Structure 1
Amino acid sequence: MKRTLIMLSVLIALSACSSSSTGRKQVMLFSDTELDTMGAASFDDMKKNTPMSADKATNDFVQCVASAITKNVAKSVHQGDWEVVVFDSAQVNAFALPGGKIGVYTGILSVTENQDQLGAIIGHEVGHVIEHHSNERLSANKLQNIGMAAATAAVGFTDIENKGLWMAGLGIGLQYGVIMPYGRAHESEADIVGQDLMARSGFDPSASIKLWQNMAKLSDGAPAEFMSTHPSNETRIKQLTKHLTSSMKYYQAGNRPNCQKPQVIPVPKA
């Protein structure tokens, strides 16, 4: 078993051939073309299975904010226009995918009070794409599957009792020891990258802090941070507050977009 884990560690080390903009080592086993194809397929599936908002004012608001953000994303991240869709759902969520895809649920617009807070959300989601987090997560899953398969083979040739419990324990160890902290690192990185991006795009970066204060009011009873793929709201607020001085250097109030949030946004019942 020890030999199996050593081999897995070597494979990870050999794969970590790049770094994120914050200097974090990255494991990426997939090409940009593969990720773009997966992103486009997933987005098409979303559009087929989730109603899209037909409210013009809502769509205009989201498109205005998204356009201001994506103008400041390097072409090396995505060539061409970004496709932005507002999904008619009460979910408090948004996402961005490789291949230039952005989805915003109408439910999150009840939490974002203005263009700056929506800029924080979209900046954060685009930050995941900029930093290749989808590639890392898929790569981590692939390495986990390789490790589990190798460990299963190793255990199969021993006389260890309760092999099922052993493998379950190994799975839990991988989940909480590797995969979940990996996700929290992504979220924290996207917060910082997104805060800088929204500032470059003319949105007040301090709004990202107020946004997560709003989110905290909705998340009573959330799981402990060590058992979640996301940092706690308190952790995010502290990190964004600490980084605010740096992101403010990019903010020019004279370059502010003028995206007007509608007074009423139709949101379906959950």
Structure 2
Amino acid sequence: MKRIIAFCSFSALILTMGCATNPLTGKSTLALVNNSSIFPSAFQQYDTFLKENIVVTGTADAKRVESVGIKIKQAAEKWLAAVGQADYLKDYQWEYKLVDDKAVNAWCMPGGKIVVYTGILPVTKDEAGLATVMGHEVAHALLNHGQQRMSAGMLQQAGAVGVGLAVGEKNEQTQAIAMTAYGAGSQMFGMLPFSRSHESEADKIGLILMAIAGYNPEASVPFWERMGAASGGSAPAEFMSTHPSHNTRVSNLRKWIPEAKAEAAKYGVVFK
């Protein structure tokens, strides 16, 4: 019992200290690992990935990826400067690469390292569609979702230790059942909703970023409808997925578009 009490007290202390406030949302988020530790590792992994894959350069598509990425980054700089947080981006090292891969995908590493796969370009179709994707990915980086997921993973592991302590004196079968239940429960009711909330948060912030960058946020809806069609309805049920369903995503975007336009108007960007 004493070990359990000590463990709980230590965990509470870590939770209290391991939080940060994001300037774009005003929310307090998990930050058990500092970006000063995460970014160098992410940059190294990004460089390794580029060396091991075919990076497309010099083409119109490659130039478009970089151009849109720069516009989205500049939109982020304007937004953060307006709220007195210009220094927030000082450690980010932005890079935007097009990689020859049939996967319909794009991703961003912590610190602003972005990859767009050629396989997603037929779905983006135009620059506004690409801005939807890159706004979403830049948003992930600005919202420190990588940091939060690492922190959540640490808490999940710590929880497993706590469960182990709680059932440590039980028989092996009881211990096995408890650990299995904890693993399934923490994934289904903790990590999956946590990841879905990140995706929705990146959708909303990405919508604002693309609008400030001059891209009509209404273009996000047909893009995600095309993504839904491209998936062929093969996505798992929403409650079992790390991403919201396409219907949920499109519904949310329609709701957020007026807010994105209003935010963009503050920077002189007006859509008819």
Structure 2 length as normaliser, TM-score? 0.85
Which residue among 83, 89, 98 is the counterpart of 1:77? 89
Which residue in the other structure is 1:221 paired with?
A: 234
Which residue among 99, 113, 119 is the counterpart of 2:125? 113
- For residues 120-199 of structure 1, the aligned pairs below 5 Å read 120-159=132-171, 161-199=173-211
Moved more, 100-109 or 2-11: 2-11
Give CA deviations for 1:123-142 in whole Å, capped at 9, x if unaligned.
Answer: 00000111111100000001
Give the CA deviation at 1:67.
1.2
Cα distance in 2 between the residues matched to 1:81 and 1:152: 41
Give the CA deviation at 1:79.
4.6
Matched, 1:10 2:15: no
- Overall identity of the aligned pairs, in %: 34
Give the CA deviation at 1:45.
2.2
Cα distance in 2 between the residues matched to 1:228 and 1:255: 36
| Distance of aligned partners of 1:49 and 1:11 in 2 relative to their CA distance in 1, 3 Å threshold | farther
Which residue in the other structure is 1:264 paired with?
A: none
Which residue in the other structure is 1:22 paired with?
A: 25
Cα distance in 2 between the residues matched to 1:190 and 1:34: 23
Greater helix content: 2
Which residue among 64, 67, 90 is the counterpart of 2:67? 64
SS at match of 1:30: coil
What code does the residue aligned with 1:31 have?
Answer: N
SS at match of 1:248: helix
Q: Gapped runs of 5+ residues in structure 2?
A: 78-85
Task: Output the aligned Cα RMSD.
Answer: 2.5
What code does the residue aligned with 1:236 have?
Answer: R
Give CA deviations for 1:67-124 in whole Å, capped at 9, x if unaligned.
Answer: 1111122352245752111110011111122233111111111100111110010000
| Distance of aligned partners of 1:251 and 1:148 in 2 relative to their CA distance in 1, 3 Å threshold | same
Which residue in the other structure is 2:82 paired with?
A: none
SS at match of 2:104: coil
Which residue in the other structure is 1:248 paired with?
A: 261
Give the CA deviation at 1:5.
9.2
Aligned partners of 2:124 and 2:223 also within 8 Å: yes
Cα distance in 1 between the residues matched to 2:222 and 2:139: 19
Give the CA deviation at 1:9.
6.9
What code does the residue aligned with 1:10 have?
Answer: A
Aligned partners of 2:140 and 2:202 also within 8 Å: yes
SS at match of 2:46: helix
Give the CA deviation at 1:161.
3.6
Give the CA deviation at 1:165.
2.5
Which residue among 29, 46, 60 is the counterpart of 1:43? 46
Give CA deviations for 1:171-194 in whole Å, capped at 9, x if unaligned.
Answer: 000101111100011100000000
Which residue in the other structure is 2:249 paired with?
A: 236
SS at match of 1:111: helix
Cα distance in 2 between the residues matched to 1:95 and 1:8: 35
Cα distance in 1 between the residues matched to 2:213 and 2:10: 42
Aligned partners of 1:78 and 1:99 also within 8 Å: no
Structure 1 length as normaliser, TM-score? 0.85
Aligned partners of 1:196 and 1:205 also within 8 Å: yes
| Distance of aligned partners of 1:15 and 1:160 in 2 relative to their CA distance in 1, 3 Å threshold | farther
Give the CA deviation at 1:49.
2.2
Aligned partners of 1:77 and 1:129 also within 8 Å: no
Aligned partners of 1:30 and 1:135 also within 8 Å: yes
What code does the residue aligned with 1:109 have?
Answer: L
Which residue in the other structure is 2:81 paired with?
A: none
Give the CA deviation at 1:42.
1.9
Relative contact order, higher structure (CA 8 A, sep 6+):
1
Which residue among 57, 66, 88 is the counterpart of 2:100? 88
Cα distance in 2 between the residues matched to 1:146 and 1:11: 13
